[in-house]
């Protein structure tokens, strides 16, 4: 819907974003409110700007609905995760994972261990969301029971989950970045080794150093033992309950879509609550709707297990929808393109082009609130520029993942930040300092661009065909 004869001026395209950010800061810092109203305010401003430049109300409304439609797969996944958390809490599945995790893992190695576990699972299934929704939930319980701060545990979970998501040939964003740039999938993955492996090693070293402060003292050992006793007194603990998360992981690994895999996990958890834990059908249904409720007298256990259900996800769902109305207007009325075009004008070589690409991916994550858009839009805008600068397409595909896939977790109103809050119970600005891989890798990528290390140029006579991107295929379904 971009006007052919009247491109959106940069100043006006930037106005809704600046005003939204100012409103966001005032609302959150001064009034201690949430992001919904600032995002809605930004949508109104963006609509007024679009109207000023000739877009009628029907076109603006269509752009809003297009943004919301893009968020619907995420909304469905968020609701199903709420159901899964409620049923797994009630069915004793999470209690069992925490119980055995406390037996096997030590505090001084926990952050490193959980990051590596999440990395392995995510590589196997190609999905950060499924990893965080299974291994991540148990990891939060284990870490908190050991006295490790929740934001620190969440950061380690996110690092592992996104490492695997980024490096797995089964990952949707990995296939999207390689496909949009015309780069062979395994060439793309190999090129990401240069930034992602050092990023993971730095993260693991940092987690090891952080964990030194959580050595298993007598007090911590007593606390862990007490937690395990409370779990045994309030739940039926059995290794057979581990079949539930393993079933979900195996189904996704076998390329069964996320929705039926999650539904299977919900049903199994629901049945476990009735037939293993001995709760009534009414109580089990209530756990799905309102979340699981338990009073053990142990504040740590109570805070961990009183959660889940559809109702607990409604704040997250509403934030996702409001954010996507803002992003829909920005993208579909040409405002986002005007901003990215302005950024393209500042690029003269790889030293500026790659940092600009990474910056535009982060900006798209912040404004359009959707990880996929942060890969698709810069791919559209920069593919020709990379060819003109004589740079191989794998430089672009790596920059899209370094700047788009990884930084999505730092935006509280992005679908990824929203999902993590709903699943792990920690906000983006709390876990941000500990999601080390996610901010170290973009920095490494920028350093490489400035120094020229691992930047591959096209050989003489080597040309890459311009890409023709079908909008209907540009946004894949969530594998979650």
Give domain status of residue 103, yes or no. yes
Domain contains 291 = yes
Q: Are 1 and 333 a contacting pair, CB within 8 Å?
A: yes
Q: Using alpha carbons, list the distances in angstroms from residue 464 to 117, 156, 244, 357, 457.
A: 39, 39, 47, 19, 12
pLDDT value of position 478: 43
Whether 43 is in a domain gets the answer no
Nearest to 63 by CA among 323, 381, 366, 327: 327
| 257 lies in some domain | yes
Q: What angle do the packed helices 57-90 and 36-52 form, to 10 degrees?
A: 160
Q: What is the DSSP-derived secondary structure letter of residue 401? A: I
- Give yes or no for a contact between 191 and 394, defined as CB atoms under 8 angstroms apart: yes
Does residue 287 lie within any of the structural domains? yes
Q: Residue holding tokens 């690994």?
A: 253
Quick check: is 330 in a domain? no
The residue segments making up the domain with residue 93 are 72-313
Strand partners, 439: none
Per-residue pLDDT, 152: 96
- Confirm if 211 and 107 have CB atoms less than 8 A apart: yes
Q: What is the pLDDT of residue 223?
A: 74
Into how many domains does the chain fold?
Answer: 1
Per-residue model confidence (pLDDT) at position 435: 97
Enter the pTM of the model. 0.77
pLDDT at 466: 45
Q: What is the pLDDT of residue 461?
A: 62
Token pair 């109300």 is at which residue? 57
Asked whether residue 42 is domain-assigned, the answer is no
Average pLDDT by consecutive 10-residue portion of the chain (480 residues)?
Answer: 66 90 82 83 94 91 88 80 89 89 84 91 78 85 88 96 87 81 87 96 95 70 81 93 87 78 92 95 95 85 84 83 85 83 71 89 82 79 82 93 94 87 90 97 96 87 51 45
Q: What is the pLDDT of residue 473?
A: 41
- The verdict on residue 18 lying in a domain is no
């Amino acid at each position: 819907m971009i006007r052919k004869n009247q491109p959106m001026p940069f100043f006006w395209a930037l106005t809704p974003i600046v005003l939204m950010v100012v409103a966001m800061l005032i609302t959150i810092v001064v009034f201690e409110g949430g992001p919904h109203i600032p995002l809605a305010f930004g949508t109104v401003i963006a609509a007024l700007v679009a109207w000023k430049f000739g877009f009628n109300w029907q076109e603006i409304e269509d752009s809003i609905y297009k943004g919301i439609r893009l968020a619907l797969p995420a909304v469905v996944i968020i609701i199903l995760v709420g159901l899964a958390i409620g049923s797994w809490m009630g069915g004793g599945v999470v209690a069992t994972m925490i119980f055995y995790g406390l037996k096997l893992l030590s505090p001084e190695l926990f952050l490193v261990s959980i990051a590596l576990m999440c990395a392995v699972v995510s590589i196997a299934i190609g999905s950060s969301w499924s990893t965080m929704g299974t291994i991540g939930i148990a990891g939060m319980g284990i870490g908190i029971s050991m006295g490790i701060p929740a934001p620190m545990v969440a950061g380690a979970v996110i690092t592992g989950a996104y490492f695997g998501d980024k490096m797995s040939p089964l990952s949707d964003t990995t296939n999207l970045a390689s496909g949009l740039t015309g780069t062979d999938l395994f060439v793309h993955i190999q090129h990401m080794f240069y930034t992602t492996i050092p990023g993971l090693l730095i993260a693991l070293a940092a987690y090891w150093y952080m964990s030194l402060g959580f050595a298993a003292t007598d007090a911590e050992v007593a606390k862990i033992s007490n937690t395990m006793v409370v779990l045994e007194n309030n739940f039926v603990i059995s290794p057979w309950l581990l079949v539930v998360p393993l079933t979900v992981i195996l189904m996704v690994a076998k390329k069964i879509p996320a929705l039926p895999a999650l539904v299977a996990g919900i049903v199994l958890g629901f049945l476990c609550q009735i037939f293993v834990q001995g709760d009534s059908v009414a109580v089990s249904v209530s756990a799905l709707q309102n979340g699981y409720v338990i009073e053990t007298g142990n504040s740590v256990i109570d805070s961990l297990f009183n959660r889940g259900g559809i109702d607990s996800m409604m704040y997250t769902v509403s934030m996702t929808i409001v954010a996507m109305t803002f992003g829909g207007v920005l993208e579909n009325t040409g405002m986002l393109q005007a901003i990215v075009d302005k950024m393209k004008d500042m690029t003269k070589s790889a030293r500026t082009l790659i940092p600009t690409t990474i910056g535009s991916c982060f900006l798209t994550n912040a404004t359009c609130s959707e990880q996929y858009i942060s890969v698709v839009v810069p791919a559209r805008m920069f593919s020709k520029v990379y060819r003109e600068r004589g740079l191989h397409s794998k430089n672009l595909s790596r920059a899209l993942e370094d700047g788009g896939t990884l930084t999505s977790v730092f935006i509280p109103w992005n679908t990824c930040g929203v999902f993590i809050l709903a699943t792990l119970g920690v906000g983006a600005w709390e876990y941000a300092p500990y999601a080390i891989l996610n901010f170290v890798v973009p920095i490494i990528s920028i350093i490489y661009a400035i120094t020229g290390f691992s930047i591959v140029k096209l050989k003489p006579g080597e040309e890459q065909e311009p890409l023709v991107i079908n909008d209907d295929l540009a946004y894949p379904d969530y594998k979650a």
